[in-house]
Structure 1
Amino acid sequence: MNPVIDAVLAGEVAPLGTQGKYSAIHKVPVPSRVRVGETGLEGDHQFERKHHGGPEKALHHYSRDHYAIWRDEWPVSSIGSSRFNAPGAFGENISTRGLNEADVCVGDVFRLGTVIVQVSQPRQPCWKLNLHFSRDDMSRRVQDTRRTGWYYRVLEPGETGTGDVMERLARPHPEWTIERLLRVFYVDRGDRSALEQMAVLAALTPSWRSTAAKRLDTGKVESWALRLNTPAGQMK
């Protein structure tokens, strides 16, 4: 059964935390059908275009099914659990049930309303999730659990909205689920055979292919500290 979009979400740049940082991670449902172009939803914003958005990361999709798991795992005494009361907690643009990282492969082509999109890469969480959830280990938890969601590039612009059925049109790389990509990057980090395949996987974004090639060349895993660790003085 094809999944149905239960929310299409967009956000504006706003203060994040109390130390002068900004982000557009807070997304809210769009009340009507929305135009989707090469770089994403009309009316959706990103603060740091170097790391967010652009043609290769035009739309972020996150499974609503993960929310119940996060809520069950959340420390009773911690703030931030209210984020799980509605979609948009992870900065996603597309929310569905019945579809997760094990069900989606890089290169998969979907129709969302009149938009045609292609899965381009998993999401790589950053420290702004820590501020968003008031939890200093949230970005690392998202990475470690591999409940990251994934990105789309837009092949054909169009319109989409809540209630649209997602129709998969093509699956060129059935062996490369988002879950497998995440496992190679974060668990089986020295799997040379898998890295060799990833380095030439045309449907995968250039940045991920480049990282795979660099690991093969150097034999080293890149540091994740700057991406995952909250800068000093930000968590107040």
Structure 2
Amino acid sequence: MPVIELRQVLAGTSRPFTRPGSFTGIDKVSVSGPVDVAALGIMGDEQGDRRIHGGPDKAIHHYPFEHYQAWLQLIGNHPRLAQPGAFGENLSTVGVDESRVCLGDIFRCGSVLLEVSQTRQPCWKLNDRFEVSDMALRMQASAMTGWYYRVLEDGVLQAGDPIVLQDRPIPQWSLRRVIALLYQRSPNVDELSQFAQLPLVPSWRALVERRLSTGQVENWASRVLGPPSGE
């Protein structure tokens, strides 16, 4: 894999969101200069609901900027697509996407060591942010989800730093393959069994074990549609 240039580093604070009682840190803005990174991500970056966002396994979100052009084709010339940060990402790059990154990949950026921990499972907050009622489902179907990092070594990074692949322990599981497996309506038992042998984050392990035991895919409605706006 060629060296990837980190184009922008982004962070944001938690604020009240569209539905009663909801908060989000999805509105990220570009940060200039060196930023400190620790186990929970970029210093000063916040998440609105720490039950489902953030934490060691979702410390940093990486989203390829070239996806923005695809989104312009899918939803039109939306003002949020004018610059990075529309999807709540922390790292914006050009030159790498879900087909070229694998689960468990380890990257060095600045003095920070990062491990690809999981892909994003898009939620209803994207629908409200873009004012597109099925935006989360569209992201899921498109495989343009981006991915999360776990921080293996604290350090400092900044825009302009190269992102360099250090190790690829699971080359057969590209993120695109992972996404295809997770979002199939009919569970593929053979692939799920293979996937279950990988070092998965706890939520994914529970999901895979549940699918294998029931033979069914879970209902995505609460995640992609969220609570009714009036509640």
Instruction: Measure how far apart 1:197 and its partner are.
Output: 1.5
Q: CA shift at 1:20, angstroms? A: 5.2
Distance 1:160 1:187 in 2: 36
TM-score (norm 2): 0.95
Q: Per-residue deviation at 1:200?
A: 2.1
CA RMSD of aligned residues (A): 1.5
Which ranges of structure 2 fall in alignment gaps of 5 or more residues?
Answer: none
The unaligned stretches of length 5 or more in structure 1 are: none
Q: Distance in 2 between matches of 1:104 and 1:189?
A: 25
In structure 1, the residue corresponding to 2:128 is in which secondary structure?
helix
Measured after TM superposition, the shift of residue 21 of structure 1 is: 2.9
Q: Judge conservation of contact 2:6–2:161 (CA < 8 Å) in 1.
A: yes
Question: Is residue 227 of structure 2 the alignment partner of residue 226 of structure 1?
Answer: no
Counterpart residue number, 1:35: 36
1:29 aligned partner, one-letter code:
S
Distance in 2 between the 1:189 and 1:84 partners? Answer: 33
Against the structure 1 CA distance between its residues 216 and 74, is the aligned structure 2 distance closer, same or farther, given a 3 Å change threshold? same
Could you tell me which residue of structure 1 aligns to residue 79 of structure 2? 82
Report the number of matched residues: 230
1:15 aligns to what? 16
Letter in 1 for 2:97: N
SS at match of 2:62: strand
Is 2:57–2:149's contact at 8 Å kept on the other side of the alignment? yes
**Equivalent residue number for residue 108 of structure 1:** 105
Deviation at 1:134? 1.1
3-state SS of 1:70 partner: helix
Q: C-alpha distance in 1, partners of 2:147/2:116? A: 7
Separation in 2, partners of 1:130, 1:106: 27
Residue equivalent to 1:50:
51
Q: Which TM-score applies when normalising by structure 1? A: 0.93
Aligned to 1:213: 209
Shift in Å, 1:16: 2.2
Identity among equivalent pairs (%): 45
- Evaluate the alpha carbon distance shift between residue 131 and residue 93 of structure 1 in structure 2; reply closer, same or farther with a 3 A threshold: same
- Contact 2:14–2:48 under 8 Å retained in 1: yes
Aligned partner letter, 1:67? Y
C-alpha separation in 2, matches of 1:32 and 1:189: 46
